[in-house]
Amino acid sequence: MKLDTVIAARSNKTIYREGNVSVKLFNAGYSIADVLNEAHNHAIVEETGFLVPKLEEVSKIDGKWAIVTQFIEGKTLTQSMEENPAKTDVYLERMVDIQIAMHGYTAKKLRHHTDKMHERIDQSGLDQTMQYELHTRLSSLPKHSKLCHGDMNPDNVIINASGDAYVIDWSHATQGNASADAARTYLLFRIAGEDARSEQYLDFFCEKSGTSRQYVQKWLPLVAASQLVQDKPNEREFLLRWSNVVEY
Ligand SMILES: Nc1ncnc2c1ncn2[C@@H]1O[C@H](COP(=O)(O)OP(=O)(O)O)[C@@H](O)[C@H]1O
Ligand SMILES: [Mg+2]
Protein backbone atom coordinates (compact mmCIF):
# COMPACT_ATOMS: atom_id res chain seq x y z
CA MET A 1 0.00 0.00 0.00
CA LYS A 2 1.30 3.45 -0.88
CA LEU A 3 -0.74 5.29 1.77
CA ASP A 4 -0.25 8.76 0.35
CA THR A 5 -3.80 10.11 0.60
CA VAL A 6 -4.51 11.24 4.16
CA ILE A 7 -8.20 11.65 5.03
CA ALA A 8 -7.73 12.53 8.69
CA ALA A 9 -4.70 12.88 10.95
CA ARG A 10 -4.88 12.47 14.74
CA SER A 11 -2.16 12.47 17.38
CA ASN A 12 -2.12 8.67 17.65
CA LYS A 13 -3.45 7.46 14.29
CA THR A 14 -3.90 8.46 10.65
CA ILE A 15 -6.72 7.56 8.28
CA TYR A 16 -5.84 7.08 4.60
CA ARG A 17 -7.71 6.38 1.43
CA GLU A 18 -6.26 3.66 -0.74
CA GLY A 19 -8.46 3.03 -3.77
CA ASN A 20 -11.67 1.39 -2.56
CA VAL A 21 -10.63 1.12 1.04
CA SER A 22 -10.01 3.31 4.04
CA VAL A 23 -6.99 2.43 6.17
CA LYS A 24 -7.01 3.45 9.84
CA LEU A 25 -3.35 3.18 10.79
CA PHE A 26 -2.49 3.29 14.49
CA ASN A 27 0.85 4.67 15.69
CA ALA A 28 3.40 2.31 17.18
CA GLY A 29 2.65 1.95 20.87
CA TYR A 30 -1.14 2.10 20.43
CA SER A 31 -2.77 -0.63 22.51
CA ILE A 32 -3.15 -3.73 20.31
CA ALA A 33 -6.08 -4.80 22.46
CA ASP A 34 -7.81 -1.48 21.68
CA VAL A 35 -7.21 -1.88 17.93
CA LEU A 36 -8.58 -5.43 17.95
CA ASN A 37 -11.48 -4.39 20.17
CA GLU A 38 -12.44 -1.64 17.70
CA ALA A 39 -12.27 -4.10 14.79
CA HIS A 40 -14.21 -6.70 16.77
CA ASN A 41 -16.92 -4.18 17.67
CA HIS A 42 -17.09 -3.16 14.01
CA ALA A 43 -17.55 -6.81 12.97
CA ILE A 44 -20.30 -7.33 15.54
CA VAL A 45 -22.14 -4.22 14.38
CA GLU A 46 -21.78 -5.25 10.74
CA GLU A 47 -23.38 -8.60 11.61
CA THR A 48 -26.39 -6.90 13.19
CA GLY A 49 -27.25 -5.60 9.71
CA PHE A 50 -26.89 -1.93 10.64
CA LEU A 51 -25.19 -0.06 7.78
CA VAL A 52 -21.43 0.29 8.26
CA PRO A 53 -18.50 0.20 5.83
CA LYS A 54 -17.55 -3.43 5.25
CA LEU A 55 -14.63 -4.60 7.37
CA GLU A 56 -11.99 -5.79 4.90
CA GLU A 57 -8.89 -6.54 6.89
CA VAL A 58 -7.04 -6.15 10.18
CA SER A 59 -3.33 -6.21 9.52
CA LYS A 60 0.10 -4.80 10.20
CA ILE A 61 1.59 -2.32 7.75
CA ASP A 62 5.25 -1.44 8.26
CA GLY A 63 5.00 -2.54 11.87
CA LYS A 64 1.81 -0.58 12.64
CA TRP A 65 -1.63 -2.06 13.23
CA ALA A 66 -4.31 -1.16 10.71
CA ILE A 67 -8.06 -1.55 10.33
CA VAL A 68 -9.06 -1.62 6.69
CA THR A 69 -12.67 -0.93 5.73
CA GLN A 70 -14.63 -0.18 2.59
CA PHE A 71 -14.11 3.45 1.61
CA ILE A 72 -17.42 5.32 1.57
CA GLU A 73 -17.58 7.95 -1.13
CA GLY A 74 -19.54 10.78 0.41
CA LYS A 75 -19.49 13.48 3.07
CA THR A 76 -19.54 13.34 6.84
CA LEU A 77 -22.35 15.30 8.45
CA THR A 78 -19.66 17.64 9.82
CA GLN A 79 -18.51 18.42 6.27
CA SER A 80 -22.08 19.06 5.17
CA MET A 81 -22.67 21.36 8.14
CA GLU A 82 -19.53 23.33 7.33
CA GLU A 83 -20.42 23.64 3.65
CA ASN A 84 -23.99 24.62 4.32
CA PRO A 85 -24.32 26.20 7.79
CA ALA A 86 -27.87 27.33 7.13
CA LYS A 87 -28.87 23.66 7.03
CA THR A 88 -27.04 22.63 10.21
CA ASP A 89 -30.25 21.68 11.97
CA VAL A 90 -31.33 19.55 9.03
CA TYR A 91 -28.09 17.55 9.30
CA LEU A 92 -28.38 17.37 13.08
CA GLU A 93 -31.89 16.01 12.73
CA ARG A 94 -30.59 13.46 10.22
CA MET A 95 -28.01 12.32 12.76
CA VAL A 96 -30.71 11.88 15.38
CA ASP A 97 -32.82 9.82 12.94
CA ILE A 98 -29.80 7.59 12.27
CA GLN A 99 -29.00 7.26 15.96
CA ILE A 100 -32.59 6.32 16.81
CA ALA A 101 -32.63 3.78 13.95
CA MET A 102 -29.39 2.34 15.34
CA HIS A 103 -31.01 1.98 18.78
CA GLY A 104 -33.59 -0.24 17.08
CA TYR A 105 -30.88 -2.91 16.71
CA THR A 106 -29.82 -5.21 19.54
CA ALA A 107 -26.19 -6.07 20.01
CA LYS A 108 -25.86 -8.77 22.64
CA LYS A 109 -22.31 -9.62 21.65
CA LEU A 110 -21.02 -6.16 22.58
CA ARG A 111 -19.81 -5.25 26.05
CA HIS A 112 -22.59 -3.97 28.31
CA HIS A 113 -22.57 -0.20 28.79
CA THR A 114 -23.64 -0.53 32.43
CA ASP A 115 -20.63 -2.75 33.25
CA LYS A 116 -18.30 -0.35 31.48
CA MET A 117 -19.75 2.61 33.41
CA HIS A 118 -19.47 0.86 36.80
CA GLU A 119 -15.83 0.13 36.02
CA ARG A 120 -15.17 3.70 34.93
CA ILE A 121 -16.79 5.16 38.05
CA ASP A 122 -14.32 3.04 40.06
CA GLN A 123 -11.46 4.53 38.03
CA SER A 124 -12.79 8.10 38.01
CA GLY A 125 -10.76 9.37 40.96
CA LEU A 126 -13.97 10.84 42.45
CA ASP A 127 -14.35 10.62 46.23
CA GLN A 128 -16.00 7.53 47.71
CA THR A 129 -19.31 9.25 48.49
CA MET A 130 -19.72 10.45 44.94
CA GLN A 131 -18.74 7.06 43.55
CA TYR A 132 -21.33 5.44 45.80
CA GLU A 133 -24.05 7.85 44.61
CA LEU A 134 -23.14 7.19 40.98
CA HIS A 135 -23.10 3.39 41.37
CA THR A 136 -26.46 3.58 43.12
CA ARG A 137 -27.99 5.71 40.40
CA LEU A 138 -26.58 3.47 37.68
CA SER A 139 -28.01 0.35 39.33
CA SER A 140 -31.43 1.99 39.52
CA LEU A 141 -31.60 2.72 35.79
CA PRO A 142 -32.91 0.15 33.29
CA LYS A 143 -30.38 -2.14 31.62
CA HIS A 144 -31.12 -2.47 27.89
CA SER A 145 -29.29 -4.22 25.05
CA LYS A 146 -29.66 -1.66 22.30
CA LEU A 147 -26.85 -0.97 19.88
CA CYS A 148 -25.09 2.11 21.27
CA HIS A 149 -22.28 3.90 19.48
CA GLY A 150 -20.73 5.70 22.44
CA ASP A 151 -19.27 8.50 20.31
CA MET A 152 -22.15 9.46 18.06
CA ASN A 153 -21.32 12.83 16.53
CA PRO A 154 -21.54 14.38 13.04
CA ASP A 155 -17.93 13.33 12.26
CA ASN A 156 -18.81 9.68 12.51
CA VAL A 157 -21.64 9.64 9.98
CA ILE A 158 -20.94 9.53 6.24
CA ILE A 159 -23.75 10.06 3.73
CA ASN A 160 -23.10 8.77 0.22
CA ALA A 161 -24.45 10.15 -3.07
CA SER A 162 -27.59 7.99 -2.83
CA GLY A 163 -28.32 9.37 0.63
CA ASP A 164 -27.40 6.18 2.51
CA ALA A 165 -25.94 6.80 5.95
CA TYR A 166 -22.89 4.85 7.13
CA VAL A 167 -21.85 5.09 10.76
CA ILE A 168 -18.13 4.62 11.44
CA ASP A 169 -15.69 4.56 14.37
CA TRP A 170 -16.97 1.82 16.67
CA SER A 171 -14.26 1.82 19.34
CA HIS A 172 -16.72 2.87 22.08
CA ALA A 173 -19.66 0.69 20.99
CA THR A 174 -21.65 -1.14 23.64
CA GLN A 175 -25.07 -2.64 24.21
CA GLY A 176 -27.07 -0.45 26.50
CA ASN A 177 -29.68 2.20 27.08
CA ALA A 178 -30.45 4.58 24.21
CA SER A 179 -30.80 7.54 26.56
CA ALA A 180 -27.31 6.95 27.92
CA ASP A 181 -26.02 7.04 24.34
CA ALA A 182 -27.93 10.30 23.77
CA ALA A 183 -26.60 11.77 27.04
CA ARG A 184 -23.11 11.00 25.82
CA THR A 185 -23.68 12.81 22.50
CA TYR A 186 -25.16 15.77 24.39
CA LEU A 187 -22.09 15.88 26.64
CA LEU A 188 -19.73 15.71 23.65
CA PHE A 189 -21.35 18.82 22.17
CA ARG A 190 -21.12 20.57 25.56
CA ILE A 191 -17.46 19.64 25.97
CA ALA A 192 -16.85 21.11 22.51
CA GLY A 193 -18.52 24.34 23.68
CA GLU A 194 -21.42 23.86 21.26
CA ASP A 195 -24.13 24.56 23.82
CA ALA A 196 -26.87 25.66 21.43
CA ARG A 197 -26.29 22.62 19.27
CA SER A 198 -26.37 20.34 22.32
CA GLU A 199 -29.81 21.68 23.29
CA GLN A 200 -31.14 21.40 19.75
CA TYR A 201 -29.79 17.87 19.60
CA LEU A 202 -31.53 16.92 22.83
CA ASP A 203 -34.79 18.49 21.67
CA PHE A 204 -34.68 16.42 18.47
CA PHE A 205 -33.74 13.23 20.29
CA CYS A 206 -36.42 13.55 22.96
CA GLU A 207 -39.15 14.55 20.54
CA LYS A 208 -38.39 11.83 17.99
CA SER A 209 -37.79 9.02 20.47
CA GLY A 210 -40.59 10.00 22.82
CA THR A 211 -38.18 10.31 25.74
CA SER A 212 -38.40 12.98 28.44
CA ARG A 213 -35.51 15.38 28.86
CA GLN A 214 -35.38 14.57 32.57
CA TYR A 215 -34.80 10.91 31.79
CA VAL A 216 -31.83 11.61 29.47
CA GLN A 217 -30.50 14.07 32.05
CA LYS A 218 -30.49 11.31 34.68
CA TRP A 219 -27.66 9.73 32.70
CA LEU A 220 -25.55 12.89 32.49
CA PRO A 221 -23.59 12.51 35.76
CA LEU A 222 -22.87 8.91 34.77
CA VAL A 223 -21.54 9.70 31.31
CA ALA A 224 -19.60 12.66 32.71
CA ALA A 225 -17.98 10.49 35.40
CA SER A 226 -17.12 7.87 32.75
CA GLN A 227 -15.47 10.52 30.63
CA LEU A 228 -13.21 11.53 33.58
CA VAL A 229 -11.23 8.35 32.96
CA GLN A 230 -9.88 9.86 29.73
CA ASP A 231 -8.04 12.29 32.01
CA LYS A 232 -8.00 15.32 29.75
CA PRO A 233 -6.95 18.27 31.98
CA ASN A 234 -9.02 20.81 30.02
CA GLU A 235 -12.21 18.77 30.60
CA ARG A 236 -11.70 17.90 34.26
CA GLU A 237 -13.30 20.92 35.93
CA PHE A 238 -16.31 20.73 33.64
CA LEU A 239 -16.78 16.98 34.11
CA LEU A 240 -16.46 17.19 37.89
CA ARG A 241 -19.35 19.63 37.93
CA TRP A 242 -21.46 17.40 35.70
CA SER A 243 -20.65 14.28 37.70
CA ASN A 244 -22.47 15.67 40.70
CA VAL A 245 -25.54 13.46 41.08
CA VAL A 246 -27.23 15.77 43.52
CA GLU A 247 -27.63 18.54 40.95
CA TYR A 248 -29.40 16.46 38.30
N1 LIG B 1 -14.65 3.93 5.67
C2 LIG B 1 -14.49 5.24 5.49
N3 LIG B 1 -14.85 5.82 4.31
C4 LIG B 1 -14.68 7.15 4.13
N5 LIG B 1 -14.16 7.99 5.04
C6 LIG B 1 -13.77 7.47 6.23
C7 LIG B 1 -13.92 6.09 6.51
N8 LIG B 1 -13.45 5.86 7.76
C9 LIG B 1 -13.05 7.06 8.24
N10 LIG B 1 -13.24 8.03 7.33
C11 LIG B 1 -12.92 9.47 7.50
O12 LIG B 1 -11.89 9.60 8.46
C13 LIG B 1 -12.35 10.32 9.61
C14 LIG B 1 -11.78 9.71 10.87
O15 LIG B 1 -12.13 8.34 10.96
P16 LIG B 1 -12.63 7.70 12.34
O17 LIG B 1 -12.70 6.23 12.16
O18 LIG B 1 -13.85 8.40 12.79
O19 LIG B 1 -11.38 8.05 13.28
P20 LIG B 1 -11.28 8.74 14.73
O21 LIG B 1 -11.28 7.60 15.70
O22 LIG B 1 -9.98 9.45 14.71
O23 LIG B 1 -12.43 9.69 14.90
C24 LIG B 1 -13.87 10.26 9.53
O25 LIG B 1 -14.46 11.35 10.18
C26 LIG B 1 -14.11 10.26 8.03
O27 LIG B 1 -14.00 11.58 7.53
MG1 LIG C 1 -14.41 9.53 14.43
Q: What is the average pLDDT value for the chain, to the nearest integer?
A: 96
Burial of 17 (0-12, 13-18, 19+ CB in 10 A): middle
Report whether pLDDT(245) > 90.
no
Whether 159 contacts 74, CB under 8 Å: yes
pLDDT bin (cut points 50, 70, 90) of residue 248 is low
Residue 53 Cα to ligand 2 middle (Å): 13
Closest residue (by CA) to atom 22 of ligand 1?
10
CA dist 209 → 51, 142, 180 (Å): 20, 16, 13
Q: How far apart are CA 238 and CA 31, in angstroms?
A: 28
* 107 half-sphere exposure, CB direction, 13 A CA radius: 30
Q: Is the CB of 169 under 6 A from ligand 1?
A: yes
DSSP category for residue 54: P
- Tell me if the pTM is above 0.85: yes
Which atom of ligand 1 sits closest to the CA of residue 69?
1
Which atom of ligand 1 sits closest to the CA of residue 151?
23
Q: Which ligand is nearest to the CA of 79?
A: 1
Best of 7, 31, 157 for a ligand 1 pocket test (most atoms within 8 Å of beta carbon): 7
Residue 153 Cα to ligand 2 middle (Å): 8
Share of the chain above pLDDT 70, in %: 99
In 3D, which of 186, 213, 181, 208 has the Cα closest to residue 197? 186
Q: Which ligand is nearest to the CA of 82?
A: 1
What's the pLDDT tens digit per position in 228-242?
Answer: 999 899 999 999 999
Q: Which amino acid is at 94?
A: R
Residue 195 Cα to ligand 2 middle (Å): 20
Would you put residue 174 in left (φ > 0), alpha (ψ -120 to 50) or beta? Answer: beta
CA dist 230 → 48, 147, 158 (Å): 29, 22, 26
Options 3.30.450.20, 3.90.950.10, 3.30.365.10, 3.30.200.20; CATH for 5-70 is 3.30.200.20
What's the pLDDT tens digit per position in 203-230?
Answer: 999 999 999 999 999 999 999 999 999 9
The architecture CATH gives domain 74-247: Alpha-Beta Complex (3.90)
Question: How many Cβ atoms from other residues are within 10 Å of residue 18's Cβ?
Answer: 15
Q: How far apart are CA 160 and CA 234, in angstroms?
A: 35
Instruction: Give the CA-trace dihedral at 106, 107, 113, 114, to 10 degrees.
Output: 70
Whether 97 contacts 208, CB under 8 Å: yes
- Ordered by start, the domain boundaries in the chain are 5-70, 74-247
